[in-house]
Amino acid sequence: MKLTNRLPAFGWLMSLLFLAVCVTFSYLLWRDGVGSVAVYGEDRPETYPPWLMPLVLAAFWLVELGVLGHLTAMPCVRAEVLADRSLHLHLRYLWRSRDLHLSAEELTAAVLVREESGDWPYFYVRLVLADGSEVNLAEGSEQARCAAICAEFNAAIGQDSAAMPKC
C-alpha cells in the first residue's frame, strides 16, 4: 500500500508567492521613497505620513514570516507499507527531507482526526510515531474517503480490528 499527501506543498507555494509580493513592494517602497505614496492618486498632491507605509509593510513581513515558518514545518508525506508490514516514510519538507523505516512492532494504528475549520469539518488520517511526532498520511474534507484510507492503512499494517481506534 502506498499513500501520498502533497497538500502541504500548496501552502508552501502560496506562502512563497506572498513572500515574492512582500519583496516586490519592499523594493518599490525603497526605490520610490516613503514620502511619495499618494493618497488620492496623481490628481491631488497629498501623501501618506512617511512612517505609515513602512509600518504596513513591516506588518505584512511579520505575518508572512510567521505563516511561512508554520507551513515549512509541515511535510509532504510518502508512505509505503512493505510486505513484512513495516512502513517506509519519506517526509519532504520545503528545505529538507527525512526518511524513516518503522518495523511492524513500532507502528500504532492511524486515527481519523476531525477538526472544525469555519463552517465545515476537515479530516486527517494521522499516525503518531514512537517519538511523539505526528504524520498526516491523508487529509481532506470528505470523511468517508479519509475513513476508508484510515481503515485500509490499519489493515495493511496488521493492526487487530478489535484494538483499532474507530476511523
- Residue 134's contacts (CB-CB under 8 Å, 6 or more residues apart) are 126, 127, 128
At 37-94, the pLDDT tens digits run 666 666 666 767 788 889 999 999 999 999 999 999 999 999 999 999 999 999 999 9
CA 128 to chain CA mean position, Å: 17
Average pLDDT over residues 151-155: 93
CA proximity to 76, closest of 89, 93, 88? 93
Q: What is the pLDDT of residue 147?
A: 93
pLDDT beyond 80 at 111: yes
Residue showing cell 507551513 = 71
The upper half-sphere exposure of residue 4, i.e. CA atoms within 13 Å in the direction of its Cβ, equals 3
Q: What is the pLDDT of residue 38?
A: 65
Taking all residues of the chain, what is their mean pLDDT, rounded to a whole number? 88
> Which residues pair with residue 48 across a beta bridge?
none
Inter-residue contact 149 to 109 (CB < 8 Å)? no
For 51-60, letters b (16+ CB in 10 Å) and e give eebeeebeee
- Give the start-to-end residue ranges of the domains of the chain: 8-72, 75-156
Provide the residue type at 35 as one letter. G
